[in-house]
Structure 1
Amino acid sequence: MGPTRAQFIQYAPAALAVVSLTAGPWSALAAGAAGAGAWVIKTSAPALRSLIACGITATGCGIAAHQVLSSGMNPLFALGLAVPAGAAALAHHRNIAGELLPALPATTTATAGAGQSSQAQVITAYWMEFISGPTQTEGRKLIQAGAVLAHLGLDVGDEHMSFTGIITLPQGQQVRVTPTNIASVYGIPVSQVEMGDPKHYAPNALPVTVHLRKAPEQPQIAPGVPTTAEELWAAHVAIPDGAMPGTTLTLTRYDGPHDWEGIATRNRKAIGTVNLQDLAGNLNLSSIQIALAPTDKPSQMGVRVMKEHALMHGTMLSGVVDELAMDSRGYVRLGTYIDANAALVPLAQPGSGARHLYLVGGSRSGKSGVLEQILLSAHKSRIAAILASPQTATIAGAGLAAFCGDGLDEAMGALRLAYAMLLDRESRYRSPAFPFTDPLLLIVIDEAHMLLAASSPHHAEAKAIVEQLTRRSLKRGIGVILATQTPLAEDLGNSSIIRSQLLIGGGAVFLRCARGQGSLVGVNAVEGAEGLDLSMIPPQWPGQYAKVANRDMSGLDTTAVAKPEDGTFGLGYLLTPGSQAVQFRSLYLDVPPASLAGDLEPVAVEDCEAWRHREAITRTPMVDQRGKNLIGSLADLLAKAQQAPPSATEQGQPAGPQQAQAGPAGPAGPAGPAGGDGRELLKPRILELLRNGSSPMTAETIARKLGTSVRHIRPRLSELKGRDEVINENTLWRAAA
């Protein structure tokens, strides 16, 4: 077989050199060197053609120059023959010197179409060499033979280069070239190859766009999109349906889009209360990143946006111990506001009595720490305290109280004593304008929902007592500190009186609540705290989760002291009457509050009839079996207390069935049905109640009406249901027909 076309092109200069051996050794040497160079470097097809033309020209000029010199003619004629050879060499240099596509390899053996620019020639050569053919390289497999690139178009700029075309095949064939194939040929990412969808084009003709070099993308700001804090405020907050319509923002400090302060102003109109959740939504932030600060002018409101919370590191209790005692205005320090000022709450109102406080906070929110701090402040201010703690041993500072009811029944006894103290002071001070000489008294009720909720066995009595305390106690020098886990109305026994009197009589502290239970909207709305969702307060500061997750447990220091930034304990909102709820954080208990009390004894309650008979009073129920008719005078209370038999523990023997039946609640008291006879006596009473009732009742309602515990009622209802004497429909019981 003869040589291939590629071999002929590679060896042509060498062949010319052999032919010209008889004519001129210099031209033969030049042609041989050209052929050898083409063989070694495997030059591209355009460059090889140029080299062949240059070799032929140089060979011809060499032969002619040799003949001139051998014939004895003037050497200047031979020198003139070098001009065509030099011109051919310069033309060859121009053809191969330009690197038109830096991103593409420098070698190809395909033949470019005539009439194309240098960029188009290289693009076409690559397409023919690797995709469509015909190929001039042995052993190379084409991607799809015959898939030519037609209608080639270029788009070349200073920072970009792309080409378009149509991949064309004969009729009846289908394009199989993929973007991945094209990207591999031109050495670019697949994302820079765009091909037409075969569903919208003929299968044998698909358009293609290839971005050989993309210009760097410049950040673009769309026209009209707000960028500064003032523009964001005007675009989202000040609009009619925004959180603060009609206001304008004036920045007083700016350290970035998430760290600034300013004043929101409404032209000659009061801003009113602001829904914090709506404001956080308008600014695309979390509610914990925003703090509001009311000013002296109703048309202005201070706004602060925080990238790192200002209260993360807390204020140590031991560092401000001198501020815990009540000042001349009746205020004590409870914590620190977001603007670093002291957060003060009133425990008394000099000249007119005491103050209330409503405290809301779920588990691990810092609620118990606030109560311990209040007990310490009362102790240092020489204010007596009666503590009702239904959940046993939850308040570390219980020893600072003059009387502590620890446990559910004991806490109910503490409430009875507090009501007796109110009746005693009312009997001794008939006129509101009295020369008040008795010490101030705080009634601290922790986990109040355990006493006030409808499921509590003491629901009716506790609700009646707390309603009267919050209504009548302030001018008698008795304040109520009531703490629950959620702001839901159910936690206060569905009593609107208790909540309204607490808020009017002092204020509120709102800490973190469980998910879905902290929204202050609807029936749970509180004026001045509209839109707050206490469940949105995170349990830890932003970024703390990652620190815990990345901690090496093998090297955990178990003796390390917890830091304020380890959790958001005590973070919440403080609301005083007539103002907006302001973000604050209670003092961080770096030392036990009781250790700061010193050697002072707990402040004692004044010596009075109610206090002297406190043991009997704590065991004496103050409502009838229906939960109504609360005892209204101290004389009636003392008379009933004297009739109550002593408890089994005072008699030095365990309570038996007969003693239990004769307890304070009478024959139908909570302990009455404990014996076998008592169980049977309950069934006819339950049947009589359900048959005479006009509507079905819950087990709790039945227990309350019969003056007993629900744990005694449920088994009897089950037994009656087994005998088909009662019917249960969605926890509502009624007598069978």
Structure 2
Amino acid sequence: MGPTRAQFIQYAPAALAVASAAAGPWSALAAGAAGAGAWAINASTPALRSLIACGITATGCGIAAHQVLASGMNPLFALGLAVPAGAAALAHHRNITGEFPTLPAATTATTGQTSQAQLITAWWKEFISGPTQTEGRKLIQEGAGLAHLALEVGDDHVSFTGIITLPQGQQVRVKAADIASVYNVPVSQVEMGDPKHYAPNALPVTVHLTVPASAPEITAGAPTTPEEEWDAFVGVPEGAMPGTTLTLTRYDGPLDWEGIATRERKAIGTVNLQDLAGNLDLSMIQITLAPGDKPSQMGVRVMKEHALMHGTMLSSVVDELAMDARGYVRLGTYVDARPALVPLAQPGSGARHLYLVGGSRSGKSGILEQILLSAHRSGIATILASPQAGTIAGAHLAAYCGDGLNEAMGALRLAYAMMLDRESRYRSPAFPFTDPLVLVVIDEAHMLLSTSSPYHAEAKAIVEQMTRRSLKRGIGVVLATQTPLAEDLGNSTIIRSQLLIGGGAVFLRCAKGQGSLVGVNAVEGAEGIDLSKIPASWPGLFATVADREMTGLDTEAVMAPEDGTFGLGYLLTPGSQAVQFRSLHLDVSPVSLAGGEPPVGLEDCDAWRERDAITQTPMVDVRGKNLVGNLEDLLFWAEHGRPAPQQQQRTGPAGQQPGPAGPGVFAGPAAGAGDGQELIKPRILELLREESIPLTAETIARKLGTSAKNIKPRLSELKKRDEVTNENGLWKAA
């Protein structure tokens, strides 16, 4: 059996060097023959270069040695010329040795591991045993280290073996499926020893990895460059943010980075978040935007593991629930860890509204409980209308609670009466009031406002008036519904617009097909958000029964924040972009955090003293028209009862009979009387003399049961007679 190709390339130059002393010039011919042979067997370029250099050196030394011997000089000189030839042969041997590496040893020590062995060990510690580099990572079995790691690398396969080792007394609970998920291989490629044949704390494992021959190391995937992906899909004309470029500020992987999107010399404006998530091939909750100080810039954050998955406990920030000097309270935490603040009041101007949307198990009730607690700790009185009885744990913190459909309607009537009472006592909206700020909290408002509700017309009329008129009287409205659909607000555009202008909005998860904020349900600053796209559980978090302790029913167990996405949504304040946030996690009863103090009470006024009668008195007639407009009428009907439109209870002046709208409101002339001018003018004069305050023409017309176009000409005629006066549209008797 002849020499191998490698042996020929290694030892042929050495033979030339030994023969150089005797062969003389013939060594050149031998070196040429060796080079041709090396080329014929496809030697590599470095090997050929080294061989040629060695042959030239050996040939030169051989010629010199031959000349020395031929001239009769000392033979020791000729022998000395063999030294550089041997050195050249040794150099050639070293040059080509690295071209034929041997396979790695079957076992490697912990120190001096190959890069591939280090990567295998790092993945094992990160996901299985710890210590992990990721804060809050849920390990498969902490302390289950991989000992005696052995790596086998072949031309078409790579595998490793080891022993899962735990301290004495513990048992290995790592499963083959767990290891397969970590190294992204099928379960069939993971072999584990039978626990019956091994100690409980030591179990052998073999993992077969399938990798290309050119890339034997384990790779986590081919990461894409966020800048290139942005330019290709987002910054193009049809993208979510056309004309923008991305500058990264942090990069921890293709699914965990932050950056700033910039549009040259132009404002970015509002961004359709659903389109942006589609451009980047992400779910909506994986990406969040943060408007910057410049309109041409927008902060972008992509999250592999959501920053708010573990939540913020309410008990640890209870001192932040009280209102600050600007009227803000903490409602939760933004995705960038900043406190999420909402205003409950505006010092020097009045109260603020809040619009809350969220379906079942979205965290809506938790936010309402938190608002009740914040109002209590801030000295704000609350009136709670809860059509669905028994759903708000902090109901005892309200000064008045309407629990149930009928009682909730009564709470709305009381809130409207309190506003009318304050309007009668405070002619000027100058602050501060001596009365406390009031929040009217309406939970499940669709049960009162939708067209299917028996109180639809009355509730819609009251809420429309309150959202328009109550802020300057120190009364804010917190309205909560299950969807952002117009039907939930009684098809009233006034209510939604006034709520958004007067404070802000919180949007949580909704049912599928009911959470889109586009079309007729569009909200400025929340373009493209679909609340039904917020998942009920965190992506990648699979809570299986096998991972839980099934030792019995534990009635004291508290749900962990990462068990669901409750409280996760978007917070919108006037004039800004909706920002992703999560409400504080309520792990204790709000009543216990109230400190045992009684609820903040309302002021002692006519509306509060007559609350029992007011809550039972409809504010509109049976047609849903003629909402009571002042406190005097309201208190009269609370005492005497609201008549039907056909009823006539007392006779008015000049033989006229009162109409259905209240005291002093007359339906028209008595039977047989005409409708001449002289019959209306005495009624106008008598009404103005009875009223202690000036009235507008519209108010006079409403009280007399006629239209304003019939009243205004008569008022002008009475003014010419100097029987009435007009100051800025307010009429009174002379």
Task: Bin the TM-score by the shorter chain.
Answer: 0.5 to 0.7
What corresponds to 1:453 in structure 2? 450
TM-superposed CA distance for 1:217, in Å, is: 7.6
TM-superposed CA distance for 1:664, in Å, is: 7.4
- Decide whether the 8 Å contact of 2:348 with 2:432 is kept in 1: no
Q: In structure 2, how many angstroms separate the alpha carbons of the residues matched to 1:467 and 1:552?
A: 50
1:46-195 correspondence runs (5 A):
none
Spell out, residue by residue over 1:646-679, the C-alpha distance to the aligned partner (whole angstroms, 9 max, x if none): xxxxxxxxxxxxxxxxx977999xxxxxxxxxxx
1:250-265 correspondence runs (5 A):
250-265=247-262
TM-superposed CA distance for 1:573, in Å, is: 0.3
- Decide whether the 8 Å contact of 1:621 with 1:664 is kept in 2: no
| 1:292 aligns to 2:299 (yes or no) | no
Q: In structure 1, how many angstroms separate the alpha carbons of the residues matched to 2:593 and 2:377?
A: 9
Spell out, residue by residue over 1:65-95, the C-alpha distance to the aligned partner (whole angstroms, 9 max, x if none): xxxxxxxxxxxxxxxxxxxxxxxxxxxxxxx
What corresponds to 2:192 in structure 1? none
Of 355, 364, 367, the residue aligned with 2:364 is 367
What corresponds to 1:15 in structure 2? none
- Decide whether the 8 Å contact of 2:331 with 2:583 is kept in 1: yes
Q: In structure 2, how many angstroms separate the alpha carbons of the residues matched to 1:568 and 1:665?
A: 50
Shift in CA distance, 639/284, structure 1 to aligned 2, threshold 3 Å: same
Of 517, 538, 541, the residue aligned with 1:541 is 538
Q: In structure 2, how many angstroms separate the alpha carbons of the residues matched to 1:664 and 1:406?
A: 27
What corresponds to 1:463 in structure 2? 460
Of 290, 299, 305, the residue aligned with 1:308 is 305
What corresponds to 2:609 in structure 1? 612
Of 226, 230, 252, the residue aligned with 1:233 is 230
What corresponds to 2:583 in structure 1? 586
| 1:488 aligns to 2:517 (yes or no) | no
What corresponds to 1:318 in structure 2? 315
| 1:504 aligns to 2:507 (yes or no) | no
TM-superposed CA distance for 1:432, in Å, is: 2.5
- Decide whether the 8 Å contact of 1:226 with 1:232 is kept in 2: no
TM-superposed CA distance for 1:274, in Å, is: 0.6
Shift in CA distance, 552/321, structure 1 to aligned 2, threshold 3 Å: closer
TM-superposed CA distance for 1:268, in Å, is: 1.2
| 1:428 aligns to 2:425 (yes or no) | yes
Q: In structure 2, how many angstroms separate the alpha carbons of the residues matched to 1:564 and 1:226?
A: 31
TM-superposed CA distance for 1:215, in Å, is: 9.1
Of 277, 280, 284, the residue aligned with 1:283 is 280
1:35-54 correspondence runs (5 A):
none
Of 561, 564, 568, the residue aligned with 1:567 is 564
Q: In structure 2, how many angstroms separate the alpha carbons of the residues matched to 1:531 and 1:638?
A: 47
Q: In structure 2, how many angstroms separate the alpha carbons of the residues matched to 1:548 and 1:420?
A: 53
Spell out, residue by residue over 1:479-522, the C-alpha distance to the aligned partner (whole angstroms, 9 max, x if none): 00000000000000000000000000000000000011000010
Spell out, residue by residue over 1:172-212, the C-alpha distance to the aligned partner (whole angstroms, 9 max, x if none): xxxxxxxxxxxxxxxxxxxxxxxxxxxxxxxxxxxxxxxxx
Q: What SS does the corresponding residue of 2:461 show, helix, strand or coil?
A: helix
TM-superposed CA distance for 1:296, in Å, is: 1.1
Shift in CA distance, 556/300, structure 1 to aligned 2, threshold 3 Å: farther
Shift in CA distance, 492/286, structure 1 to aligned 2, threshold 3 Å: same
Q: What SS does the corresponding residue of 1:547 show, helix, strand or coil?
A: coil
TM-superposed CA distance for 1:448, in Å, is: 0.1
The two structures have a TM-score, normalised by structure 1, of: 0.57
1:385-400 correspondence runs (5 A):
385-400=382-397
Q: Aligned residues: percent identity?
A: 79
| 1:639 aligns to 2:639 (yes or no) | no
What corresponds to 1:199 in structure 2? none
- Decide whether the 8 Å contact of 2:388 with 2:405 is kept in 1: yes
Q: What SS does the corresponding residue of 1:359 show, helix, strand or coil?
A: strand
What corresponds to 1:384 in structure 2? 381
- Decide whether the 8 Å contact of 1:620 with 1:664 is kept in 2: no
Spell out, residue by residue over 1:354-395, the C-alpha distance to the aligned partner (whole angstroms, 9 max, x if none): 000000000000000000000000000000000000000100
What corresponds to 2:408 in structure 1? 411
Q: In structure 2, how many angstroms separate the alpha carbons of the residues matched to 1:226 and 1:339?
A: 24
Q: What SS does the corresponding residue of 1:585 show, helix, strand or coil?
A: strand
Shift in CA distance, 215/427, structure 1 to aligned 2, threshold 3 Å: closer
TM-superposed CA distance for 1:218, in Å, is: 7.4
- Decide whether the 8 Å contact of 1:619 with 1:664 is kept in 2: no
Detail structure 1 runs of 4+ shifted over 6 Å in the superposition. Answer: 663-668
- Decide whether the 8 Å contact of 2:373 with 2:394 is kept in 1: yes
Q: What SS does the corresponding residue of 2:625 show, helix, strand or coil?
A: coil
Q: What SS does the corresponding residue of 2:480 show, helix, strand or coil?
A: strand
Q: In structure 2, how many angstroms separate the alpha carbons of the residues matched to 1:349 and 1:306?
A: 35
TM-superposed CA distance for 1:473, in Å, is: 0.5
TM-superposed CA distance for 1:264, in Å, is: 0.6
TM-superposed CA distance for 1:229, in Å, is: 0.4
- Decide whether the 8 Å contact of 2:352 with 2:476 is kept in 1: yes
Q: In structure 1, how many angstroms separate the alpha carbons of the residues matched to 2:527 and 2:471?
A: 27
What corresponds to 2:339 in structure 1? 342
Tell me, which stretches of 5 or more residues in structure 1 are unaligned? 1-158, 161-213, 220-224, 645-662, 669-737
Q: What SS does the corresponding residue of 2:245 show, helix, strand or coil?
A: strand
The two structures have a TM-score, normalised by structure 2, of: 0.57
Q: In structure 1, how many angstroms separate the alpha carbons of the residues matched to 2:378 and 2:515?
A: 33
Of 504, 522, 527, the residue aligned with 2:524 is 527
